Amino acid sequence: MKSLIALIFTFFIASISYCQQSDPAAKKILDAVSAKFKTFKSVQAVFTLSNEDSKGHVLGTKKGTASMKGSRYRISVAGTGQEIFCDGANIWTYDKSANEVTITKPDPSASTISMQKLFTNFYDKDFLYKLNGDKVVNKKAVQEIEMTPVDKTKPFHKVYLLVDKQAKTIYSTRVLDKSGNVVVYTVPNMNGSANLPDNLFVFDKSKYPGVEVIDLR
C-alpha cells in the first residue's frame, strides 16, 4: 500500500524545461494540456487505478476520487481505507485499518510519479517524450505520448500518456516500473469548476475518534 500511496502522490508541480531530443509535436500537445489545467480554479475527478502484469492482464482495479486546488489535494481510494490530505505544507496519510494518520512534508525531489503531477507539469526536464500517434479508446479520440526518464535510476522506465484530443486533458497514464509491474490511471472526465473549501484538504482529527498520530515532519 505504501508503494500505491507513493505512486499517487508526488505527481503535481515542477518547473518546466524541454530537452532538444524531445518531439516538438508532443511538446505542443503537452503545452496545451498544461494550459488547459491552469484555467481550472479547482478540480474534482473520479479515477480508476489498475494494476497489470507485463502481458497487459489486469490483476486488480480500484476506483478513487481526487480533489485539487492549487498545491492542495485530497485523494481517496475505495476499498483500501486510505485517504490522503495535503494543504500544500503538510501531507496526512490516513490508514483506516490501523486507525492511524502519518504526517509528512511534501517532497518535490521524490522520484516517483503521483496523480497531482499527472494533472499538471509532469513533462519536466527529467523526461524525453515523443508523439506515437492518434488512437480511439472507449469512443474517445486520444493522442499517445511516450515518455522516457533521462535519469535511469528512476523506479520506472516508461510512461505512456493518452491525451483527450478534444478536451485537452489527460485521459490515462500507464506507468511501467522496472519490476515488471504496470500501473494505469484512467480519468474519464473531470470537473474544472468545482467549489472546494480549503478545509477539505486538512485532516480533521476530531472526525476520526481514537486515531493515532505519527508525526514525521
pLDDT digits (tens, 9 = 90+) for 158-171: 889 899 999 988 89
Residue 57: its pLDDT value, please? Answer: 83
Residue 31: its pLDDT value, please? Answer: 84
The fold of 2-8+23-215 is: outer membrane lipoprotein receptor (LolB), chain A (2.50.20)
22 has a pLDDT exceeding 60: yes
- pLDDT mean across residues, the chain: 81
Q: Taking residues 131-155, report their average pLDDT.
A: 89
**Sequence-distant (≥ 6) Cβ neighbours of residue 39 within 8 angstroms:** 192
pLDDT-derived band at 15 (thresholds 50, 70, 90) equals very low
CB 8 within 8 A of CB 84: yes
pLDDT-derived band at 203 (thresholds 50, 70, 90) equals very high
Query: In 24-102, which ranges are continuous DSSP H helix?
Result: 24-38
pLDDT tens digit sequence for 32-65: 888 888 888 888 988 888 888 877 788 888 888 8
Residue 154: its pLDDT value, please? Answer: 77
Q: What does pTM read for this prediction? A: 0.77
Residue 41: its pLDDT value, please? Answer: 86
18 has a pLDDT exceeding 80: no
With CA atoms as reference, report the closest residue to 96 among 77, 72, 114.
Answer: 77
CA 166 – CA 172 distance, rounded (Å): 14
Q: Taking residues 109-136, report their average pLDDT.
A: 68
| φ, ψ for residue 114, nearest 5 deg | -120, 170
Query: E strands within the chain?
Result: 43-52, 58-69, 72-77, 82-86, 91-95, 100-104, 127-137, 140-149, 156-164, 169-177, 182-186, 190-191, 212-215
pLDDT tens digit sequence for 59-111: 888 888 889 888 888 988 888 888 999 998 999 999 999 999 999 988 765 54
